[in-house]
Structure 1
Amino acid sequence: MRLRDLGITLGSGTPGVYNAITDVPGVRVGHHTLSLETAGASIHTGVTVIEPRAGSAHLEPCFAGVHVLNGNGDATGLEWIREAGLLASPIAYTNTHSVGVVRDALVAAEREMAKQHTYWCMPVVLETYDGVLSDIWGQHVTAEHVTAALSEACSGPVAEGNVGGGTGMICHEFKGGIGTSSRVLSQEQGGWTVGALVQANYGVREELRVAGYPVGRVLADVASPFKGASNVGAPGMGSIVITIATDAPLLPHQCTRLAQRASVGLARVGGGTEDSSGDIFLAFSVGNRNLPVANHGHPGAPTTALQMVNNDYISALFLAAADAVEEPILNAMLAADDLSGCGSQVLALKPARLLAALEQVGWRP
């Protein structure tokens, strides 16, 4: 189930064919999910990868930018993006304690693919905390799981909810996880596509909003994993990581501006105000090709011809990014299933209950 299946639309933009980040040409997504109860541990975690272009990202980098709304989280590879404006690796989502193993596995995969052409690799890995539902201290994600996610990467529809890195995540005290959406601009606006993929693991129940309506205030009857429990933390703990992709030819500083607009989409749903949340956003553009590759000892031409979106046209991209971030957070919750682990149970946001809550606060289809 997705938000639009309920007749709820956000903003005035038009989604792409898949209403997913994979509507941006060349972008691929893969998941590997670990979800099992063993005699010694609850394991509900995994890896999600985003390939900006098929093949070696190091040999076909993209312009990119980063924005951190709240830094109570961790990531690898962002400093080089800030410095050079280049994304030269896949992007991976996982849990907090698996950032290192996922990063190392991406380095090994890049080395295997690029062989002698690779001088270095600094992969981008983003995390959110799944320790309420999963044995996070067991560090169950392995290099083989990263390889599996990469092998599953493809265009087309993207699985959402309890999948990949989002398997054990919680959002607004409901089951959260992976969500995605896209918007296609009109030809007058440039005709470009903007897509987003989120790993949603943040939020207080009463702050939840859908299409602007404060539904969280009337959903107190749905049990929260944090109420009455002393060993799982507090409501609002967690994080959200967001990747925005576009085929609009943006320069690095424009990608940073696009990444900042993820904050708008997050705020519409009721997030972005918790000290305990790591809210880290990345945006990249596939609109320029043949960007210079680090090729030490064999430099290429001294200049590169580029295109850029004029600022008179960039506001439409900002709006599309905000819409494309707002919707996948809700898609992640609606696609998720109830999940129990580590002695806790987290309930999914059921479509019928959401519609009833919307009607209680005045929404009409």
Structure 2
Amino acid sequence: MKSQFLLDPAITFLNHGSFGACPKPIFEEFQRFQLELENEPVYFIQKKSAGYLKIAKERLAKYIGCIPTDFFFTPNPTIAINTIMRSLHLESGDEILSTNHEYGAMDRTWNFYCKKSGAKYIRQNISLPVVSKEQILEEFWSGYTSKTKIIFLNQISSCTALIFPVKEICDKARELGLITIIDGAHVPGQIDLDITELNPDFYTGTLHKWMLAPKGSSFLYVKQRFQEMLDPLIVGWGYESVSPGESQFLDYQEYQGTREISAFLCTPKVIDFLEENNWKTKAKECRQIVFDNYQRFCDLLHTQPICPITGEFLGQMASIPIKTASPVELKELLFNKYKIEIPVMPLNGNYFLRYSINAYNSQVDLDILFKAMQDIIETTDLIEL
């Protein structure tokens, strides 16, 4: 599998979770669309791109469990969440209930809009180690008040790599009449996704992470009853269109002037690649490597796992608590000296060494990391035991 990817063979790449990695056949499809665009830009943009986009959306809709007219492509989840927030019309005193495990860019975005509106962003503490799903649910809902209007939650956390019980939270939120916004950036391609079953009001996920698409391919699903209220983040030709399509929602969101959409159009090739290479089996094998090594690294670093080592809480990533006063220096040392690409993630005053495992990885990669960490412990003071 490693030969199918464009990754530098000199680097032990254990950071798929940050930006993904694109296989050669998919990247070639990406370049093919770019060449077709440049061969006749006007004809491509005005005549062909809509048809290509329709095919891409139909394939993705089946993969993520919704219908094509209920979502649109975005470059990343940050743009998707900003699109939602712009249309929420928050008022002073309104509360957004979230967790203290959310992605930093999302925290910043909520803080920005809350400062504008006077609403409050509640980062409810989910304590570590997590011992059960019930613990997460109890701690999360203890932050609910009569002022809570919105639930915002990542399905898989970026820093701690934990799988959250999104289905249970969406179900209860619906009973309480709350709006649910789910950040599923790490979900598609890593664990099964069926948006219809989860039944959130809004859901964003990436294709360029675990689905292996070219960079800049994500989506935003919007439940039908919220589609008319969603203003476009970028106002363009689709607004009050002279030739409207079947959906004002899509007219507003999909027509943003000249932009590069080749990454979106690769979606059929992306899904073909996953199916042809039996990716569900490969993902299962990767999860097993994650499980088999987690306690081993915790023992080396004299820390404890932050959750039970099972598929209920972990996918193809694991975050190992690490005691260090120099996280940036440690990350740079791992890359510059040991040629290992791996993040040292900060969250709530703690640090985590997060490894990601995909089909191009093997046990050898984690053995390289283990040996490097042993050497750093023995020869530097960057890690406290």
Higher helix proportion: 2
Task: Between the two structures, name the one with larger relative contact order (CA 8 Å, sep ≥ 6).
Answer: 1
TM-score by length of 2: 0.22
TM-score by length of 1: 0.23
